[in-house]
Structure 1
Amino acid sequence: MESVTLRAPEVRTYPALELREIEATKGAGGLWLEGRAVPYDTWTDVGWFMERITRGAFKKSIREAAAGLPLLLWHDNRTFPIGVSTEWRESDDGLDGVWRLDDQDPLAVEGARKAAAGMLTGMSVGFSPMVEEDDIELDDNGLPWITRSQARLLEVSLTPTPAYAGAQVSLVRSRAAQQQRGERRRSAEIDSWRAFAEQARQR
């Protein structure tokens, strides 16, 4: 059995430098939020050290709890979550997530409204390092530069206080918009398969 050591949870906040498409608000039956939870290979000043997170650091977490990690406001674990993760997409430059918000919770609805209005656009992660010794280098001034290659993702929060370029809210969608997006995706996949089948017949 693999043995890992979990250390005390840590929090990192990543601001939105810009918002891409923002698509309105409360719809019949649901609210969704999309955004970049973690930018990869981006150095940030944590205070007494510099830090970056590499691709795959949260691979185990998102595989085991893809549809179960909470979305909070400002890492406040004394109140109920405002949403829950439903999907994760990992690319070379970052980890993107989709969260279903509780449209019966006034805090969740207000959070979505402020995100759509550009007033609550930062995303912040709570995580726990899973290795005893991370990759640490000291610069000429003795400042540690730490690379996180393995950590457990605990939660993601909406925050208005940017501290790290790269993470951002990208979309706030109603259920109708989410369904339309899914239908467009399925239609594109069908068209792709049809084109492939047609090419195969012509060979």
Structure 2
Amino acid sequence: MTQRGLARTAGVLYLIVAVCGGHSQLFVREKLVVHGDAAATAAHIRESAALWRLGMISDLVNITCFLAVALVLYALLSPVSRWLATSALVCNAVSVAVMAANLLNHYAALVAATRGFDDRLAGFYMDVFAQGYLIGQIFFGLWLLPLGLVVYRSGMMPRALGVLAIIGSAGYVGDLLRTPASPVLLALAAIGEISLVLWLLAGRIRTVTPAATRAAVAA
């Protein structure tokens, strides 16, 4: 596959990640989970069990495509820096593993809510899920750091995309500390990711030969 073909493939996969991840988090869990009220959470899950299951399916598609994005970007960017591309792939894989394991808490909340268990158990599983989500976010943030660096060095895309990805990494990791700068950094992270997805979808990358890649890295 050509470099432009790899870029467009990564863009399509990343778009699926954004759509499915946004659906499961914003339109399922944020809609049905009432923070601090286990009884209301359990009632909402029981009433919308099909939507809750659909959220889990969306997350499974999300994390599968997220891993595929990393593999495709590795194929595209490893000639620039195999170490940075591998670092991004490893952080991505850890994030995917954490998110996949954390889906057990999502499913356990459904079981607790629909099979006669105490409603507090559903609330407990969602509290655990929230912490697992934050752990996955750490590695998601870390994956953007080497990705941003290798994009910056590649010469295939505008360096601004690499800079925004690096800022996004700081935003996701810093969000755990709830610093005053977190909202600004997260907004820049969103802008950077959206810009990267659109650039990849358009296939607007400069084809780089191995010799040009070596020269860019040396520079």
TM-score by length of structure 1 reads 0.23
Work out which structure has the larger RCO, using CA pairs closer than 8 Å and 6 or more positions apart in sequence. 1
Q: Which has the higher strand share?
A: 1
TM-score by length of 2: 0.22
